[in-house]
Amino acid sequence: MALVFAAPAAAGGPSLVVGAAEDSPKQATLDGAKTHMTMAKLAGLKAIRVTTLWRPGLTEPPAAELTALKNAAAAGNLAGIRLVVSVYPFGSSVTPLTPEARTQFARFTAAVASAGFRELIIGNEPNINRFWLPQFAPDGSNAAATAFLPLLAETYDAVKAAEPRAFVWGIGLSPRGSDNPALSRPTHSPTAFIRDLGTAYRASGRTTPIMDGVAIHPYGDNSSQAPKDSAHPNSTTIGLADYAKLVALLGTAFDGTAQAGSTLPLLYDEYGVEAQIPAAKERQYDGTEPATTRPVDESTQASFYRQAIELTFCQPNVRGIFLFHVSDEQERVAWQSGLYAIDGTPRVARDVVRNAADQARRGIVARCNLQLVPRVGLRRLPDPAAVRLRFSSNLDGAYRVRLVREDGTAAASTSGRVVGGTQKVVRLRLPRVRTGLFRLEVTVRSVANPAPPQPVLSSPFRIR
């Protein structure tokens, strides 16, 4: 009997990919890459975002860089982890503002796609002065958004020409910015950057898209801020709880053009919560923690990471959330937000994240009325004394299995619970009257976010 599937689950929910932003799998050898990917696998992660940096004059990654990327990808394949590559300029000192520089950057990114990397993020926080200058034109307008548009457009076209199946995430926005040109470190808020990028796109007259989705880094205001408390209804910052505001902004910027707006897939490709370093491990780190970071204890970090997964599970346009990082950075001025400490020992968060990611895939990490439709596969098994069936569901669900006659009446039935991602075998009694054709009908309803029942039927068969 052929395998039968119900309709796929709705967007969001179980399709959410829990991953991490982590460059450590970029290694000169495959064995080295596998070590780091194994740590990610043990944390239940399904994606790793690595970076590759463009510098003036480059039209393709150097050989050593390409080898490191390929080793990371190969190790990811072995671990069941997909690789996402973020491509951006080294820093604001090399912002690609000229036509020649933009073409070099576009060719560089297209070469990454041609090497087999089909999911790319173009840009990294171009709304802050660390990665893009100038931020403001002499008249005070958003020079960063205006100049980023042609770079993103040319790169998008080059990538699609090189690899039509590639998926291009755009921007990689920082969650906050001042929008004040008078400051010594000028920056733009993501709100202003999206708005002004949309204005520039409309003014350009372009009739094709510039991105397939939007990447953003919705960090909290500091590490002590819980994800559920990260909404900013009265400011231009965008946190994890600002989903509705972000979707509305994209709609205002792009709806009605060739570029999708309010329906754009979203990727939270950086989100981190710094953990406090125990006194016994302080000597393993260098420098001093900035006072503004406000790191939390390990249990709170774990709780915040779970809460972040719960929150994004309920945001239909979001395709993934990538934690920053798998393992800590050594410099205290950087990020100690990993699922592992610098010495490789797991934090409380590792197992909490693994459990939350598994529950997200099974559709039970949060209840938010997503109306999830399980994907159900079924197969009748040989059994002379009964009607035996093996079926599976991607979601945790309450099931009912019926043996139905041609007129739709039930000859036998049973019910119970099935765990998402597992197989269930059930046996139904043979009917007394065995003439005519029968079908097996399996109905599974999500236990956490149920949609109206959608029965799955087998092909008709006879019972001898």
The tens digit of pLDDT for each residue in 50-89 reads 999 999 999 999 999 999 999 999 999 999 999 999 999 9
The C-alpha atoms of residue 339 and residue 44 are separated, in whole angstroms, by 11
Using only the alpha carbons of the chain, give its radius of gyration.
Answer: 25
Put residue 450 in one of left, alpha, beta given phi > 0 → left and psi -120 to 50 → alpha: beta
Whether residue 161 contacts residue 139, with contact meaning beta carbons closer than 8 Å, is answered with no
Give pLDDT, residue 5.
31
pTM, entire model: 0.94
Query: Confidence band (pLDDT; 50, 70, 90) for 177?
Result: very high
The stretch 411-433 carries a mean pLDDT of: 96
Residue 437: CB atoms within 10 A of its CB come to 12
The C-alpha atoms of residue 459 and residue 198 are separated, in whole angstroms, by 51
Measured torsion, CA atoms of residues 142, 122, 39, 31, in degrees rounded to the nearest 10: -140
Task: Please give the domain boundaries of the chain with CATH numbers for all domains.
Answer: 13-361 (3.20.20.80), 376-457 (2.60.40.2550)
Mean per-residue pLDDT of the chain: 95
Query: Confidence band (pLDDT; 50, 70, 90) for 12?
Result: low
Whether residue 295 contacts residue 274, with contact meaning beta carbons closer than 8 Å, is answered with yes
Give pLDDT, residue 258.
98
The C-alpha atoms of residue 338 and residue 20 are separated, in whole angstroms, by 9
What's the chain's length in residues?
Answer: 464
The tens digit of pLDDT for each residue in 200-245 reads 999 999 999 999 999 999 999 999 999 999 999 999 999 999 999 9
Q: Report the run of H or E that residue 270 belongs to, with start and end.
A: strand 266-271
Using DSSP, state whether 224 is helix, strand or coil. Answer: coil
Show the CA angle centred on residue 445, arms to residues 425 and 400, nearest 5°: 45
The C-alpha atoms of residue 164 and residue 150 are separated, in whole angstroms, by 20
The tens digit of pLDDT for each residue in 155-173 reads 999 999 999 999 999 999 9
Query: Confidence band (pLDDT; 50, 70, 90) for 2?
Result: very low
Q: Report the run of H or E that residue 441 belongs to, with start and end.
A: strand 438-446
- pLDDT(287) > 50: yes
The tens digit of pLDDT for each residue in 354-380 reads 999 999 999 999 999 899 999 999 999
- pLDDT(247) > 80: yes
Tokens of residue 219, six digits: 């960090």
